[in-house]
């Protein structure tokens, strides 16, 4: 697709010796109001360099580039050069690109096949897969999709929390109060009940904590009974987790969790000692990070056992050696900011020049109306319950409104789950929020169901005259002039043209909400075009042109929805 911004920058660069072409491109703005043009170039910086009034410079530049083939007109307004692109040129570029690139429209080869590890979701084995996990899960999945769409070779890693002292507690709890049939029937809920009871009982009988530490020590030594229970808890938990992942349409390339790195600790400790980084502190071993304005990082406890940070260092080294990544992304809550700063700094101190390629992507937390979720207290909202309730509520709406669908259950699943995902990805990822059923299940306004409905509406239009659509997509170049006179068509085409930029921005900022907001804008512009224009007109050229634009809008909305991890219904 023609890069009109790049072409504009080249035209300006021929007139502006004081600035490089890349600097000029960065300075070109997209005005908020269409009456101010498609692009605007501010002349304040040139005025300072040339000691000339910016208004005068703007007039001079406008006069020189007004006749360029890509512009309809160019105006000097105050200190700005406002440039209006030739509408037929932009519309033609969009129609052609969308028709030829299809599912790849908006993507590209920016990544050049370079490898990116994306670690996300990472729930704890034998604990609830609750609403708090949805943030890492859907944000990470969207970031993975965006990077793959941009031409990177992505590896999806689910770093399961399947190691640590909590398993000693779980083993003790199961031995005292557990029932195998209950666990096999309802794995997570049964194990949660045991875990909650353990903490209630431990408050009255602190000796339980010692029993749990002993059980975990036996697990670390590989004792058969403890190892078998741990493996069973892991297998049963994964069955339940995978059911939820299946509902969300999410899969992983690796489930290597903390336990995978348990035999790789000695190497990490040896490296730390070799570099002289370990210090003894009250019987434990630490890395002193005071010089970097951070508290010490605890590497081993008094009993010699390792911690999360040691396993994360081992995991990073393994991933670099095994996958040869260019980027290693961690989608983990902002609560862990210090933890990531510490171990990434340790990687740097160990002399690994790829430390900067390890990136923590934080996000805000989810809380309940009654306060923060707590597994120990049993105060959680299961993610599966949220998804099932969203599906059921959507099913009621589909039936009540007699939605046009061949499969009520499938539409309810696509739209209900899509509503939950879209709600998560509609705001900046760093924001905290309070979980609310009313908000999750509100289908009015700028929501997932609205965008999905817009895709289904476009699909319906295209089904009405398939021969005309096929003819339109076979010859898009000749159709653009028929749309140049429609303001709503041009407004829609401009948003479609900017979709690749939105995807790249989302990748650069690790921010899926950029895509979410953009496809809302596209859906709104499409619906205005649909309202303003009679699409299936008697004029064959006009009809084909409008169908080609509807097809481009449908493709863009569909591609955006799939990047977010949502379905794009054909009927709704």
CB 364 within 8 A of CB 429: yes
Q: Let me know the angle formed at the C-alpha of 380 by 159 and 341, rounded to the nearest 5 degrees.
A: 40
CB 392 within 8 A of CB 416: yes
Burial of 182 (0-12, 13-18, 19+ CB in 10 A): middle
Per the residue annotation, which of 130, 494, 518, 546 is the catalytic one?
130
Considering the domain architecture, whether residues 154 and 271 belong to the same structural domain is answered as yes
| Structural domains in the chain (count) | 3
Considering the domain architecture, whether residues 235 and 171 belong to the same structural domain is answered as yes
Report the predicted TM-score, pTM, of the whole model to 2 decimal places: 0.92
- Is residue 212 domain-resident? yes
Domain boundary among 367, 387, 407: 367
Considering the domain architecture, whether residues 185 and 323 belong to the same structural domain is answered as yes
Q: What is the mean pLDDT of residues 411-426?
A: 94
pLDDT confidence tier of residue 360, bands split at 50, 70 and 90: very high
- If DSSP codes are grouped into helix, strand and coil, which group holds residue 191? helix
Give the rounded percent of residues in the chain with a pLDDT score beyond 70: 98
- Residue 377: its pLDDT value, please? 53
Q: What is the mean pLDDT of residues 152-180?
A: 94
pLDDT at 462 over 90: yes
Domain boundary among 367, 389, 421: 367
Reply yes or no on whether 130 is catalytic: yes
Q: What is the mean pLDDT of residues 139-159?
A: 98
Considering the domain architecture, whether residues 214 and 355 belong to the same structural domain is answered as yes
Reply yes or no on whether 339 is catalytic: no
How far, rounded to the nearest angstrom, does the alpha carbon of residue 474 sit from its chain's CA centroid? 34
Give the rounded percent of residues in the chain with a pLDDT score beyond 90: 83
CB 560 within 8 A of CB 526: no
pLDDT at 260 over 60: yes
- Is residue 165 domain-resident? yes
Considering the domain architecture, whether residues 123 and 59 belong to the same structural domain is answered as no
pLDDT confidence tier of residue 442, bands split at 50, 70 and 90: confident
CATH of the domain at 435: 1.10.730.10
- Residue 372: its pLDDT value, please? 54
- Residue 111: its pLDDT value, please? 97
User: Which residues make Cβ contacts (< 8 Å) with residue 472, sequence separation at least 6?
Assistant: 479, 544, 545, 547, 548, 551
pLDDT confidence tier of residue 374, bands split at 50, 70 and 90: low
- Residue 367: its pLDDT value, please? 75
pLDDT confidence tier of residue 371, bands split at 50, 70 and 90: low
pLDDT at 373 over 80: no
pLDDT in tens, 16-28: 999 999 999 999 9
Considering the domain architecture, whether residues 315 and 415 belong to the same structural domain is answered as no
- Is residue 296 domain-resident? no
Q: What is the mean pLDDT of residues 161-174?
A: 91
pLDDT in tens, 349-359: 999 999 999 99
Q: Which of 67-81, 132-146, 431-445 has the lowest mean pLDDT?
A: 431-445
Q: What is the mean pLDDT of residues 455-480?
A: 94
CB 338 within 8 A of CB 158: no
Q: What is the mean pLDDT of residues 520-527?
A: 97
- Residue 368: its pLDDT value, please? 65
Considering the domain architecture, whether residues 324 and 405 belong to the same structural domain is answered as no
- Between residues 375 and 118, which one has the greater pLDDT? 118
Domain boundary among 311, 346, 367: 367
pLDDT confidence tier of residue 379, bands split at 50, 70 and 90: low
pLDDT in tens, 487-518: 999 999 999 999 999 999 999 999 999 999 99
- Is residue 372 domain-resident? no
Considering the domain architecture, whether residues 263 and 352 belong to the same structural domain is answered as yes
- Residue 348: its pLDDT value, please? 98
pLDDT at 253 over 90: yes
Return the axis-axis angle of helices 383-400 and 408-425, rounded to nearest 10°. Answer: 120
Considering the domain architecture, whether residues 308 and 413 belong to the same structural domain is answered as no
Q: What CA–CA distance (Å, rounded) separates 495 from 381?
A: 38
Per the residue annotation, which of 86, 87, 133, 546 is the catalytic one?
133
CATH of the domain at 184: 3.40.50.620
pLDDT at 376 over 60: no
User: Which residues make Cβ contacts (< 8 Å) with residue 63, sequence separation at least 6?
Assistant: none
Considering the domain architecture, whether residues 343 and 485 belong to the same structural domain is answered as no
Q: What is the mean pLDDT of residues 232-251?
A: 94
Per the residue annotation, which of 127, 159, 518, 543 is the catalytic one?
127
Q: Where are the alpha helices (DSSP H) in 113-264?
A: 133-149, 166-177, 180-185, 187-204, 207-220, 224-248
Q: What is the mean pLDDT of residues 520-530?
A: 97
Written as six digits, the tokens of 118 are 């994306």
Considering the domain architecture, whether residues 472 and 560 belong to the same structural domain is answered as yes
Considering the domain architecture, whether residues 80 and 198 belong to the same structural domain is answered as no
Q: State which residues form the domain around 438.
A: 397-564
Mean pLDDT of the chain: 93
User: Which residues make Cβ contacts (< 8 Å) with residue 34, sequence separation at least 6?
Assistant: 491
Q: Which of 121-130, 315-324, 331-340 has the lowest mean pLDDT?
A: 121-130
- Is residue 498 domain-resident? yes
- Is residue 32 domain-resident? yes
pLDDT confidence tier of residue 156, bands split at 50, 70 and 90: very high
Distances (CA, A) of 183 to 12, 191, 234, 509: 69, 7, 12, 42
Distances (CA, A) of 246 to 134, 238, 298, 543: 14, 12, 37, 41
Q: What CA–CA distance (Å, rounded) separates 371 from 377?
A: 12
128: number of Cβ within 10 Å: 24
Which contiguous run of DSSP H or E holds residue 550?
A: helix 540-564
Question: Where does 242-325 show beta strands of DSSP type E?
Answer: 278-281, 284-287, 297-300
CATH of the domain at 49: 3.30.1360.70
Q: What is the mean pLDDT of residues 164-192?
A: 92
Reply yes or no on whether 199 is catalytic: no
Would you state the torsion angle of the CA atoms of residues 480, 484, 488, 494, taken in this order, to the nearest 10 degrees? 70
Q: Let me know the angle formed at the C-alpha of 175 by 173 and 181, rounded to the nearest 5 degrees.
A: 100
- Is residue 363 domain-resident? yes
- Is residue 381 domain-resident? no
């Amino acid at each position: 697709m023609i890069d009109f911004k790049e072409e504009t920058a080249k035209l300006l660069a021929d007139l502006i010796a004081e600035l490089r072409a890349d600097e000029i491109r960065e300075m070109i703005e997209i005005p908020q109001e269409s009456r101010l043009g498609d692009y605007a170039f501010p002349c304040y910086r040139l005025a300072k360099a040339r000691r000339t009034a910016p208004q005068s410079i703007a007039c001079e530049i406008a006069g020189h580039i007004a006749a360029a083939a890509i512009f309809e007109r160019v105006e000097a307004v105050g200190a700005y050069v406002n440039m209006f692109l030739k509408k037929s040129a932009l519309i033609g570029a969009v129609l052609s690109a969308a028709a030829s690139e299809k599912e790849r429209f908006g993507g590209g080869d920016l990544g050049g096949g370079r490898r990116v590890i994306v670690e996300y979701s990472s729930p704890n084995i034998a604990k609830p897969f609750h609403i708090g996990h949805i943030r890492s899960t859907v944000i990470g999945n969207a970031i993975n999709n965006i990077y793959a769409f941009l031409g990177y070779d992505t590896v999806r890693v689910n770093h399961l929390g399947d190691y640590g002292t909590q398993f000693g507690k779980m083993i003790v709890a199961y031995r005292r109060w557990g029932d195998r049939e209950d666990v096999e029937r309802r794995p997570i809920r049964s194990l949660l009940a045991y875990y909650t009871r353990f903490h209630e009982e431990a408050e009255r009988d602190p000796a339980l904590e010692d029993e749990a530490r002993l059980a975990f020590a036996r697990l670390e030594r590989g004792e058969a009974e403890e190892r078998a229970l741990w493996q069973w808890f892991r297998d049963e938990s994964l069955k339940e987790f995978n059911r939820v992942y299946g509902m969300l349409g999410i899969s992983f390339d690796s489930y290597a969790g903390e336990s995978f790195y348990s035999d790789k600790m000695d190497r990490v400790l040896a490296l730390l000692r070799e570099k002289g980084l370990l210090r003894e502190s009250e019987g434990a071993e630490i890395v002193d990070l005071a010089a970097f304005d951070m508290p010490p990082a605890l590497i081993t406890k008094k009993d010699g056992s390792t911690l999360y940070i040691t396993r994360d260092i081992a995991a990073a080294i393994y991933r670099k050696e095994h996958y040869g990544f260019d980027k290693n992304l961690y989608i983990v809550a902002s609560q862990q900011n210090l933890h990531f700063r510490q171990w990434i700094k340790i990687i740097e101190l160990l002399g690994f020049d790829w430390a900067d390629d390890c990136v923590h992507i934080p996000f805000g937390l989810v809380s309940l109306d009654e306060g923060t979720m707590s597994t120990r207290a049993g105060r959680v909202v299961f993610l599966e319950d949220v998804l099932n309730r969203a599906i059921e509520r959507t099913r009621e709406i589909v039936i009540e409104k007699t939605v046009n669908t061949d499969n009520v259950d499938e539409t309810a699943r696509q739209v209900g789950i899509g509503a939950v995902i879209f709600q998560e990805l509609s705001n900046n990822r760093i924001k905290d929020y309070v979980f609310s059923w009313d908000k999750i299940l509100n289908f009015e306004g700028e929501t997932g169901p609205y965008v999905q409905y817009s895709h289904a509406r476009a699909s319906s239009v295209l089904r009405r005259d398939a021969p005309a659509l096929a003819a339109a997509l076979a010859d898009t170049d000749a159709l653009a002039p028929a749309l140049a006179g429609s303001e709503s068509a041009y407004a829609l085409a401009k948003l479609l043209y900017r979709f690749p930029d939105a995807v790249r921005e989302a990748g650069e900022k690790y921010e899926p909400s950029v895509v979410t907001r953009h496809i809302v804008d596209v859906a709104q512009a499409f619906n205005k075009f649909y309202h303003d224009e009679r699409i299936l007109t008697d004029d064959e050229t006009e009809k084909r042109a409008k169908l080609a634009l509807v097809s481009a809008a449908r493709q863009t909305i569909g591609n955006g929805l799939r990047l977010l991890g949502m379905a794009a219904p054909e009927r709704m």
